[in-house]
Amino acid sequence: MNTQPPSGSTPPGFYPDSSGAMRWWDGSSWTEHTQQATPEQVAPPKKRHTFRNVMLGIIAACVLFIAGCTALLGSAANEAGKSIEKEVAKDKQPGGPDNPLTIVEGKKFSVSGFDYSSGWKVDEDVLGSIDIAKLKVTNNRDKKDSALVEIKFMKGSEVLALADCTTEPVAIGQTTTLSCGSTDELPKSYDRITINDSF
């Protein structure tokens, strides 16, 4: 029997002795009471939650993807909205598609950054259709662009005849003559001529 007491002032309890058994120490001496030594209890392995972690990762990735797409679409929609607002405002300017500008034959005028020279003339061709001659335009926009306009002959709010006039792309500051065409006959009487951008 192990007669060597545990070190220091050890409280009463079972302690291992030299034979490998657990012997009772009463606080001052060993007793005859023994018990078999029990192996240390092994903690059960932690659950790994692999499936759960993979699913959480997939869900997080999906949420981030959807949030990114939503932000991207929101930004694109915002830009599209601004662009539409800008176009609507431009369409309502004098000479815009929604706000025709009244013009006088032979007089100069401006529409959406294009300046039209004086000296132009309304006539009819050999078939009696509208012929607009010597209508020159200078591009004062901030980029090379084409002039695309409709010239309408009006009586009150009624459109009696229409001529479409276009140019090839015109460089900034350059002047060119519009090419105008119509299948409408020149009205015998009208009270005003209007012009507006086609686009």
What is the distance between the alpha carbons of residues 96 and 90, in angstroms, rounded to a whole number? 6
Looking at the predicted structure, is the pLDDT value of residue 8 above 90?
A: no
Could you tell me the residue ranges of all domains in the chain? 101-197
Predicted confidence band of residue 42 (pLDDT cuts 50, 70, 90): very low
Looking at the predicted structure, is the pLDDT value of residue 11 above 60?
A: yes
Average predicted confidence (pLDDT) for the chain? 84
What is the distance between the alpha carbons of residues 56 and 53, in angstroms, rounded to a whole number? 5
pLDDT digits (tens, 9 = 90+) for 93-108: 766 678 899 999 999 9
pLDDT digits (tens, 9 = 90+) for 148-165: 999 999 999 999 999 999
φ/ψ of residue 22, rounded to 5 = -95, 125
Cross-strand bridge partners of residue 80: none
What is the distance between the alpha carbons of residues 35 and 149, in angstroms, rounded to a whole number? 109
pLDDT for the residue 80: 76
Please give the single-letter amino acid code of residue 28.
Answer: S
| Structure tokens that stand for 89 in this block | 């405002």
What is the distance between the alpha carbons of residues 90 and 13, in angstroms, rounded to a whole number? 96
The 10 Å CB-count burial string (b at 16+, else e) for 91-111 is bebebbbeebbebeeeeebeb
- DSSP element (H, E) containing 61: helix 50-91
φ/ψ of residue 130, rounded to 5 = -65, 135
Contact 114, 141 (CB under 8 A): yes
pLDDT for the residue 14: 84
Averaged pLDDT, 3-22:
74
Could you tell me how many helices (H) and strands (E) the chain has, helices first? 1, 14
pLDDT digits (tens, 9 = 90+) for 43-70: 555 667 788 888 888 999 999 999 888 8
| Structure tokens that stand for 191 in this block | 């009270």
Return the C-alpha torsion angle 95, 138, 128, 105, nearest 10. Answer: 60
Q: Is 30 or 132 the better-scoring residue by pLDDT?
A: 132
Predicted confidence band of residue 131 (pLDDT cuts 50, 70, 90): very high
pTM of the model: 0.54
Contact 193, 162 (CB under 8 A): no
Averaged pLDDT, 155-179:
95
Determine what percent of the chain is predicted with pLDDT higher than 70. Answer: 82
The SS3 of residue 49 is coil
| Structure tokens that stand for 134 in this block | 């010597």
